[in-house]
Structure 1
Amino acid sequence: MTLCAATSVNVAATMRALEASLRQIRFGACRLLTDAEVSPAHPEMEIVAIAPLRSSAAYSDFLLTRLPDYVATTHCLVVQWDGHLIDAGRWQAEFLAYDYIGASWPQFDDGHDVGNGGFSLRSRRLMELCRDPAFVVVHPEDVAIGRTNRAWLEAQGMRFAPRDLADAFAAERSGEPHRTFGFHGVWNMPCAIGLEAFWQIYCQLDERGTLKRDFRSLLRDVANGPRGMSRAARMIADRYLK
């Protein structure tokens, strides 16, 4: 399995997410795909130069059309700065029986509800199919895989994990991070890694757009923690005064 992340923003936080995963599992490879000039702190992390990803849509296109170029193993575990492995003891061999698994989407009830791509396990054969001319490339990339093209992918023999297994794999909008193998979502970080660790990461961020949707809940968590009022005041200033 290859541990992989691709980004042009929040690179330091992404490296920390990779390191958090590397501390618990030895992977076949670990690659940070980025245009930033950085040196990894972990000896097993390889920095691979790519063209800048200037938008979230560019990120989606990269994962759907270029990611297989950097993965030689049968599976790839995709992480982002706000989603990574939490508890290796919750790994299940059954995860590898599927071509795609990510945290379930509670907003969908049509059976196409697996799932989130921010922390996801993908087979190489699925990633190659995403480059097939018949695959409809849309943004975001996890919706392209899990919903727009799911029926077509399943017709090609791809297997999506059932919802209960996806919920054991990762928490995002449903589930609890401390009961899953991994997590995704900045709103989950205070619970998943602790308030102090979240604050240290927050201070390193150079792009905070993903905080907007859940700003109030994050603000509440920070305000109830150490130096809560001053930290909450900084968050408000970062959002509204810069």
Structure 2
Amino acid sequence: MSDFTKITVVSVTGLQSLADGALLAIEQSMRSLPGSRGLLMSPARPTHLPSDIMHIAVKPFGYLEYSLFMLYALGEFIRTEFVLVVQNDGWVLNGSNWRDEFFDYDYLGAPVHLARVTHAGQSSYRYGFEWLPYLNNPECRVENIYNGGFSLRSKRLLEAPRKLGLEFKIPVPGVCPGPPFALHWQGEMVLEDVWLCLTVRRDLEDCGLRLPNLGVAREFSIEHAIPAFHTPDIISNIFGHHSRLRKIRDLTLKQIDYGLRPEQVGLVYGEQWIVDEFNKNNYQISWANP
């Protein structure tokens, strides 16, 4: 039997409006990992906080500071060997799909649509899974990013950026078209999962920390299905998920809000297979309004 006492299920948010959903994600994930601990870090303590989940207050902050907190501060509050990071839009989908092999890695998350491809000494960011054709090209190097919104991380990984003195450098941003206007960074380099998987991955691996290959990451979690990479049988064996399309609303009813209408599901590769998994696991789906 797996030893889930090694894991703290944690969610961090600087936005109190997301705290209730984050708490539901913690509770649902802990049910799948008996013996695990629970920790919510948010500006205010939720009214109905279960006794087996700890709350630690943080000041309100946005996503850039969230990245810095996850990289340089979270480890100060963790007493277990691993954390499972969850959010209101990412939690354990099917606990029976847990594999103890996941403990062999220091950082583990779903493959995302973005990767960096290097060919003939030139690097470029490939979005929308456009990196997939380069995987089997021996003349190309594909550096994949593994999603942090639902991720397993070792205590060693949490402590590494501070211990190794790894600097988080903010590149000059562009400005997204608006309104509303926002800052934009090429390659999304200020996102903590991108930073871990691209900017400092070699530093981490040189110190003995292990990140997964695509095959292991695919079996751990899914963000969105990748053409020619995910199939229905693979998705039915996935442990967790993360996507802005799917947000937990009610734990008693196992209800989720879906950011699509039913007729839109078939337009997104593999999304129907993911919907089928939610149905198989007795979730009730509230669809987006027309």
- Which of the numbers 13, 16, 40 marks the counterpart of 1:32? 40
Unmatched segments (≥5 aa) in structure 2: 1-6, 116-130, 132-140, 170-189, 266-283
Unmatched segments (≥5 aa) in structure 1: 203-217, 234-242
- Counting matched residue pairs gives 210
Secondary structure in 2 matching 1:131? helix
Counterpart for residue 20 of structure 1: 28
Contact 1:117–1:141 (CA<8 Å) still a contact in 2? yes
- Percent same amino acid at aligned positions? 29
> Structure 2 vs 1, CA of residues 223 and 158 (structure 1 numbering), >3 Å: closer, same or farther?
closer
- Which protein has the larger Cα radius of gyration, Structure 1 or Structure 2? 2
- Which of the numbers 3, 6, 20 marks the counterpart of 2:9? 3
Contact 1:77–1:121 (CA<8 Å) still a contact in 2? yes
Instruction: For 1:89, give the aligned amino acid.
Output: S
Distance between the aligned counterparts of 2:55 and 2:263, measured in 1?
Answer: 33
Secondary structure in 2 matching 1:39? coil
User: Where do residues 15-94 of structure 1 align in structure 2 (5 Å cutoff)?
Assistant: 15-52=23-60, 54-94=61-101
Distance between the aligned counterparts of 1:161 and 1:227, measured in 2?
Answer: 34
Aligned Cα root-mean-square deviation (Å): 2.8
TM-score (norm: length of structure 2): 0.65
> Structure 2 vs 1, CA of residues 163 and 227 (structure 1 numbering), >3 Å: closer, same or farther?
closer
Distance between the aligned counterparts of 1:141 and 1:60, measured in 2?
Answer: 5
Distance between the aligned counterparts of 2:77 and 2:236, measured in 1?
Answer: 31
Counterpart for residue 95 of structure 1: 102
Secondary structure in 2 matching 1:117? strand
Instruction: For 1:117, give the aligned amino acid.
Output: G
Distance between the aligned counterparts of 2:47 and 2:200, measured in 1?
Answer: 37
Distance between the aligned counterparts of 1:77 and 1:187, measured in 2?
Answer: 20
User: Where do residues 206-221 of structure 1 align in structure 2 (5 Å cutoff)?
Assistant: 218-221=259-262
Secondary structure in 1 matching 2:149? coil
Question: Could you list the per-position Cα deviations for residues 144-203 of structure 1 after superposition, in whole angstroms to 9, with x for gaps in the alignment?
Answer: 11111101111111111111111110001335754310000122559xx9xx8223xx8x
Distance between the aligned counterparts of 2:101 and 2:285, measured in 1?
Answer: 40
Counterpart for residue 195 of structure 2: 144
Shift of 1:134: 3.6
Higher alpha-carbon deviation: 12-21 or 41-50: 41-50
Shift of 1:220: 2.7
Distance between the aligned counterparts of 1:75 and 1:227, measured in 2?
Answer: 33
TM-score (norm: length of structure 1): 0.77
Contact 2:89–2:244 (CA<8 Å) still a contact in 1? yes
Distance between the aligned counterparts of 2:91 and 2:262, measured in 1?
Answer: 20
Contact 1:40–1:46 (CA<8 Å) still a contact in 2? no
Counterpart for residue 124 of structure 1: 155
Runs of 4+ in 1 over 4 A off after TM superposition: 175-178, 222-228
Question: Could you list the per-position Cα deviations for residues 33-85 of structure 1 after superposition, in whole angstroms to 9, with x for gaps in the alignment?
Answer: 11123134433211111222x21001101101110011111111111110011
Shift of 1:23: 1.7
Shift of 1:21: 0.6
Secondary structure in 1 matching 2:80? coil
Contact 1:64–1:137 (CA<8 Å) still a contact in 2? no
Distance between the aligned counterparts of 1:21 and 1:15, measured in 2?
Answer: 10
